[in-house]
Structure 1
């Protein structure tokens, strides 16, 4: 699907390292909010057994919270724990779960956490998971505090950031911050689409204020894919804005940023062009060679 209007002849645009990481994203025409962020990590113990950890940060009228699900290498759920630090004022603590021969300890300190528009904390926190005294996941910037309180062997866990899924809201502009690989640079991401007052809507995607993708004649090209370069990595961008154009008024659009050279093979093997693909977009984390994926569910906030 290479017949849409974009900025280059070969279908590739580049976001170089010189792009301003502090570029200010203004969305005066829309009120941006988020209430759900799901992150998937693949973690490995010293004995080479692996786990898939899914962490979901939430925000609603009752407050903010986080849930953790730990699956083994056969996709069997070992445990699922829900923590609501704001609702029950448990902003720091530890949860112990015993599953067979495994003792799982979940540690958190969110007392000084700082947030943006997302329910996922930005800084001033730690969130750690220990299995049989082996640290398998450490999130946050308060590593020194965690070392003083957590009984674990070593603080350099073997972990791969597999995927991240966010819900974002707006009218014409949708903004967030994200990485296109687990330890990569954090970028400002802006998606713009004005559907009002025009018979020929246009979709724009900007990274750090630089326009890398433009899709014209969107009513004919409401689904498609395009390659950009970010930090020297090829990033395949897939979009599905069918619900924005032809669905319900409050329908969502789906955007997938996939850091993978074989992304088109994934496209061919999975029916992600179907309207229901948003529910099954998180690929099997055990599948090798598919890279990191960032999924954005953009909801119209009328």
Structure 2
């Protein structure tokens, strides 16, 4: 029967091989969140890509602004040599100006599920008198440290987030939709996909063996959100490596999704190289193409998102059992 060969949502975890456990254990150690923000720097629309990465031994942030790139270690350590410290660095941008980047993660607090801090930090870009970009809740500290006298006149726009989440049957993440924060839970069990928002069931998809890919409009905090799912790899992958599920939450025309670089690209490359031919087929990317085609064709470039009000949350769900 077809159901006898279906992994993840359908298989018994006691029947999985130790090889699969070891493979997914390596993936479980890597937490990755990539966010894109749009802001105004010297009256020029500017896009910032922040990639938060955490393993058992490292915790880092990679910042990309135009052609500028910087990687920071934000690991907490009892050894002074490796201790996380506040820092700053001049930015060489294409605006004929040299603003400065300031950061402080010494008091940052993190949720167990994510590499992105939830409070107790700041990341700021400032010139001599104004803060041009600010992320985090320590605004007064950022003002004092930079010597600026005013906060950003224009709030940055959160365009998109891509996160790798891990679980056995339940996958949870805290996400922001146009300024509002919500708890998202995705459960895959017994051939059924259940999506909850703030503890309330908003979607149930039964018979995943036949509905392994689809889309449905749901409500998230009063917002109409287009939800896309693709569990092709879970349904048709081998029991030795069930790959990952792909889920997209899209508001409006959506937001631009960042290119995979660094540790995130390495994680995906390892997945594809160790997966069966079905798991590495274009099937697992079709949901992304589908969501893009559902929005206007002009949303392929960053510049087209200025003032669009769209947002996209892309989740890669990895099985850790």
Which one has a larger percent helix, Structure 1 or Structure 2?
Answer: 2
Partner residue of 2:143 out of 132, 144, 147: 147
Deviations 1:62-109 (A, max 9, x none): 3211010012xxxxxx20100013273233111223346231422111
Residue matched to 1:284: 301
Q: Counterpart of 1:243 in 2: which secondary structure? A: helix
TM-score, length-scaled by structure 2: 0.70
CA RMSD between the two structures:
2.6
Deviations 1:251-278 (A, max 9, x none): 1111111111x57xx9xxxxxx842358
Residue matched to 2:71: 82
1:43-192 mapped onto 2 (5 Å cutoff): 43-45=39-41, 47-71=42-66, 78-86=67-75, 88-99=82-93, 101-117=96-112, 118-130=114-126, 134-152=130-148, 154-158=150-154, 159-181=156-178, 183-184=179-180, 186-192=181-187
Aligned-residue offset at 1:187: 1.1
After superposition, the Cα gap between the structure-2 partners of 1:277 and 1:66, relative to the gap in structure 1 and judged at 3 Å, is farther
Partner residue of 2:214 out of 224, 247, 254: 224
Name structure 1 gaps, 5 residues minimum: 1-31, 72-77, 267-272
Partner residue of 2:314 out of 292, 295, 301: 295
After superposition, the Cα gap between the structure-2 partners of 1:38 and 1:131, relative to the gap in structure 1 and judged at 3 Å, is farther
Residue matched to 2:276: none
Residue matched to 1:239: 229
Name structure 2 gaps, 5 residues minimum: 1-27, 257-281, 293-298
Residue matched to 2:37: 41
Residue matched to 1:252: 244
Q: Counterpart of 2:142 in 1: which secondary structure? A: helix
Which one has a larger percent strand, Structure 1 or Structure 2?
Answer: 1
Aligned residues of 2:229 and 2:287 also touching (Cα < 8 A): no
Aligned-residue offset at 1:292: 0.7
After superposition, the Cα gap between the structure-2 partners of 1:33 and 1:63, relative to the gap in structure 1 and judged at 3 Å, is closer
Aligned-residue offset at 1:34: 6.2
TM-score, length-scaled by structure 1: 0.74
Matched, 1:207 2:197: yes
Q: Find the aligned partners of 2:237 and 2:99 in 1 and give their Cα distance.
A: 44
After superposition, the Cα gap between the structure-2 partners of 1:245 and 1:133, relative to the gap in structure 1 and judged at 3 Å, is farther
Q: Find the aligned partners of 1:155 and 1:257 in 2 and give their Cα distance.
A: 31
Deviations 1:117-166 (A, max 9, x none): 21111111111123676533211111111111113362124221100111
Q: Which moved more, 1:49-58 or 1:86-95?
A: 86-95
Aligned residues of 1:112 and 1:124 also touching (Cα < 8 A): yes
Aligned residues of 2:128 and 2:147 also touching (Cα < 8 A): no
